[in-house]
Structure 1
Amino acid sequence: MLTIIQAACLACLAFMLVACGSNSYTQTSQSAHFIVQMSLDSTRTGECNATIVVQDQKGQPTTVDELALAPVMPTMGHASPEVLAQKDGVGSYHAHGSFFLMPGSWDINMHIRRGTIAETLRFTVQVNA
């Protein structure tokens, strides 16, 4: 049976491991025409790199005419400048910028346009200091 001190030590260790863990983020979202996976190398304030994979509804990589990331913090009314993603290859894009001004819950509204199709997907990110 664990003593109170042992239990407290285990709780502290678990907290430190979580705090030292990865700050990366990956989420997939789907719209009427696209399946999009966005990965961020950091969920902290400051500069960040985003890697985006765009697929059609059959799961095949697809090229879009424009892909923009528009970070907003709805609870505080903040927004960061929209960032246009650059194409790396068929269905592969990247973006770099200071997406998050402060810690808290942020939405990245991803605007995608291909021909006459225009859709917005939302990715919610919990940002740390």
Structure 2
Amino acid sequence: SVVQTGGSASGSQFSVGTNTITFTATAPSGKSVDCSFKITVTNEATASFENCPSNIRMNNDAGVCGAEVAFANPIASDGNGNLQVIQTEGPKSDEVFPVGTTTVTFEATGSNGEALECSFTVTIDDNEDPEIICPS
């Protein structure tokens, strides 16, 4: 008889990397012999950000030298599913951005080691007239 004694069964999903499959053949006399082979699975899928925000431009909040800005955090994925995304630069969503231009950057790494980056700018324009308080 021949029985699979190691590795993933035929028809199942194999993980990325080298997978060893082993079969054991046993004769009626009880003597047996093993046969092993390797299946190598590579990930050729390209990782990408699905929703990197566009550049944002808005006016400052009244009486503040900046504005609270909301944006959706991007999602990155490759052929093996969603990837961990880390914000590496700039204030987070729903925080106050200063007047001027600020870069926001997110990074992720694909399961094949491919590094990706999503960057956009947030520009806050100061549209308020200056105020001066004179002593009486």
Larger radius of gyration: 2
TM-score, normalisation: structure 2: 0.36
More helix by share: 1
